[in-house]
Structure 1
């Protein structure tokens, strides 16, 4: 058995769920490649992990740009070999807006980053994984993948990621590559905290609608990602796993007009 650590590429790896995934996979013994547009934070995480003995490399990449993605993947393959893991966590959020007032330019940008970026990175690294006959890809979906949401551009993008996950799982399984997704609920990332602080998110509304009345923690999503990338999930592909403190279950339960006393 090889002693070479597994190689994990994580987009959006300089903050939030992506950063948590980087830290969890590094803690599990992986070498990590951190992809983000935040140079300052990305290089800081790289330096911190390296100081603790982890093989960590930061790359500034705009995942929505095909040439940039292809150049990055070519460099990874040359310098490090074929990744064992790809986590597509790079993405952008949206505040609530009615469809009739939606800014189509914002919707386009959400598609470019959340869907196109996931597709481009999955395509480039997925090819190498299929050639190697191994690999695990985990994409980032959302509660909006399953339920109607006033974040129309974001919701459309996350439904698209679900479909991409299922199609790639069907196509790449015979080559030994598994493709899954996680669907985090309201997760207390720095971006979420900023929206709470600005009054754009109401924590009490989250608590009331969740079976477990709290926010999901980024490390909890990272734990699920690590599981889906592990040999323990060897028979799992094409699924979207909610990690939502029971928001999907309780919000549906509370929607019924008849409630127990």
Structure 2
């Protein structure tokens, strides 16, 4: 008898998190959504059940508060005896700002949620996964993991998550737990679209630096997330997989001092 697998998705109410929820749903997994936006989470859970999830539930989660992470983890294991995948999609963005103009409070907020919050989730679920002897964890990196960006809180945080992924992979691997990350390119999430509409992101500049002339869609990232959590990736751990329509390669290629005729 094959047991139904369970995925936990933080930030599952929208964007890449919601797309990941739907991908696991189509594969028939149990899903636990953690989000500060409980109403959005309920909508995503209902859609997941309609798409084929064995079950889908929502628990409140504030990544900035350790007590909330503890309660969320406890709640997930009260619903399901084991968790097979954790997707750390919860986080916040930052608009471009000069380094010396950034309030230190903004830095603290971004790091408290994006780095410390991810660490707390990974500690809480990692302990139980290692005890169970299996599982897959996905962290959320970014193009800013690899390239400088005028986001002096967000970009260093995404670099930190790459290091966290590699450290966890080495630490958790002997217990049977794999840890990887995805690095989405410019992804057409609701938050990104709102920034494009507000004029603080230039979509043409993104397309000019991309090999595949389109924005990344949340479903593109969700497919990579699902692959890394699947048995097809059983020998893969400690990697950060860019899903960027070739932006990293093309931005370097087109910046070279001599271009082919």
TM-score category of the 2 structures, normalised to the smaller one? over 0.9
**Structure-2 separation of matches of 1:140 and 1:17:** 10
Q: Give the SS at the match of 1:183.
A: strand
CA contact (8 A) 1:145 1:155 kept: yes
CA contact (8 A) 2:25 2:51 kept: no
Asked whether 1:244 is paired with 2:244, we answer: yes
Instruction: Map 1:29-178 to 2 at 5 A.
Output: 29-51=28-50, 54=53, 55-178=55-178
Aligned residues: 260
TM-score of the superposed pair, with normalisation by structure 2: 0.97
Residue 182 of structure 2 aligns with which residue? 182
Residue 228 of structure 2 aligns with which residue? 228
CA contact (8 A) 2:34 2:72 kept: no
Q: Give the SS at the match of 1:139.
A: strand
Residue 19 of structure 1 aligns with which residue? 18
How big is each residue's C-alpha offset from its partner over 1:8-50, in whole Å with a ceiling of 9 and x where there is no partner?
A: 0000000000000000011111110011111211111222333
CA contact (8 A) 1:110 1:153 kept: yes
Deviation at 1:151, TM superposition (A): 0.9
**Structure-2 separation of matches of 1:258 and 1:227:** 38
Gaps of 5+ in 2: none
Gaps of 5+ in 1: none
How big is each residue's C-alpha offset from its partner over 1:194-225, in whole Å with a ceiling of 9 and x where there is no partner?
A: 00100011110001001111100100100000
CA contact (8 A) 1:20 1:222 kept: yes
CA RMSD of aligned residues (A): 1.0
TM-score of the superposed pair, with normalisation by structure 1: 0.97
Instruction: List structure 1 runs of 4+ shifted beyond 6 angstroms.
Output: none
